[in-house]
Amino acid sequence: MGNAAQQLSSGAVYGLINAGRALMTSGSPCGFFVSSVLCLMVWLMCSAVQAQTWPAKPVRVIVPMAAGGGSDSVARIMSSRLTEALGQQFVVDNRGGGGGLIGIGMAVKSAPDGYTLMLISGSVPATIAAHKPAYDPISNLSGVIRVGYSPLTLVVHPSLPVKSVNSFFAFARARPGQLSFVVPGVGSLTHLAMEYLMSRTQLRMLHVPYKSTGLGMTDLLSGQIQVMMTGLLPVMPYVQSGRLRAIAVSTAQRWPAQPEIPALAESIAGFDVESWFAFVAPKGTPTAVISRLNTDMNKLLQEPTLRKSFDAQGMSVAGGTSEDVDKRMRSEHDRWAKIIRDAKLRID
């Protein structure tokens, strides 16, 4: 907005304020009501001016994970395009540690002025449910937009004589407690997705914790562990070479890039677990700023070049409303909290 427009808006605001004061002191029966309406108009005008002048300085994008992972990649893709589109730097700030709780805490404590955002993944509601921080991060964050998602993939070592979802279920059900699955972090999204799968199918398998996905993958490839739920893109080279077998994807529908792999929902009604990514902001961030961010990012997500960047990461673009993010964070937190209680998981 130009200076003239800002001065015009400021003049209008002062005019409304003075009118409200006059009505409040006039003694008119309707003075209080009218002055209240004028106050609301002032607030709306100030909010609109802020949205139009924002961003006036660089915006920090907290990623509560170390550099190099999926969240980091998505944050950098989107930050680059936001910088180009809005004319201010969107700077990625990796704050890993504590399963993401360190970065989450930093975002929650940041000033809600529109100059701090956070890129979260579907693992964040799982982490919050598992570790139960002293405060409620979800109530202290506001959704902005869900930008992308990808499936998890149920894979097995090829020594198992199973090639379909139902044959895997039958094999595992006949051997309760004999099969083991990789857990790259107790309480992680992939761990809770497996616990959810077992709760829906009455399967019993043993979870084996690892410090990283890579260490667990090594034992899976050697046959020491038989089962794993993990991201689709990293595991596909092993599937294509025959070193692992893909049984199903975790999303409600088959994944377009790998349509030959069935969806678990085809055998388990309503099963749907996504590895999703969304922008959030500290609670209290101006609604007008969140609305503008949502509108601008929805437009960016339609760009063919950005879609190709997401495709290269094994993801599809999402989009939608800020309210969608708020609902997803809460519903997934509640789902994972129930899974943890029902499975009596101990999170150290």
pLDDT at 192: 95
Within-domain flag for 213: yes
Domain range enclosing 184: 151-266
Spans in the chain with pLDDT lower than 70: 1-51, 348
pLDDT at 309: 94
> Per-residue DSSP letters for 157-182?
-TTSS--SHHHHHHHHHTSTTT-EEE
pLDDT at 39: 47
Q: What CATH number has the domain bearing residue 301?
A: 3.40.190.150
pLDDT at 240: 95
pLDDT at 69: 85
Within-domain flag for 39: yes
pLDDT at 185: 83
Whether residues 241 and 93 fall in one domain: no
Within-domain flag for 348: no
pLDDT at 98: 83
Whether residues 142 and 85 fall in one domain: yes
Whether residues 261 and 328 fall in one domain: no
Contacts of residue 298, Cβ cutoff 8 Å, sequence gap at least 6: 145, 319, 320
Within-domain flag for 271: no
Within-domain flag for 81: yes
Residue type for position 244: L
Whether residues 198 and 260 fall in one domain: yes
Whether residues 261 and 186 fall in one domain: yes
How many CB atoms sit inside 10 A of residue 281's CB? 25
Within-domain flag for 317: yes
Whether residues 40 and 96 fall in one domain: no
- Domain boundary among the residues 266, 294, 325 is at 266
pLDDT at 270: 95
Whether residues 49 and 73 fall in one domain: no
**pTM confidence score:** 0.83
Distances (CA, A) of 77 to 31, 63, 172, 214: 52, 13, 41, 24
Contacts of residue 26, Cβ cutoff 8 Å, sequence gap at least 6: none
Within-domain flag for 272: no
Helix 213-222 × helix 232-240 angle, to 10°: 20
Do residues 230 and 269 make contact, with C-beta atoms less than 8 angstroms apart?
Answer: no
- Rounded to the nearest angstrom, the gap between the alpha carbon of residue 59 and the centroid of all alpha carbons in its chain is 19
Whether residues 217 and 249 fall in one domain: yes
How many CB atoms sit inside 10 A of residue 222's CB? 10
Whether residues 304 and 286 fall in one domain: yes
Whether residues 129 and 72 fall in one domain: yes
Q: What CATH number has the domain bearing residue 168?
A: 3.40.190.10
Whether residues 172 and 244 fall in one domain: yes
pLDDT at 26: 59
Residue in the structure block whose two tokens are 């990461």: 313
Whether residues 77 and 222 fall in one domain: no
Question: How, if at all, do strands 59-63 and 116-121 pair?
Answer: parallel
- Rounded to the nearest angstrom, the gap between the alpha carbon of residue 339 and the centroid of all alpha carbons in its chain is 19
Give the number of domains in the chain: 3
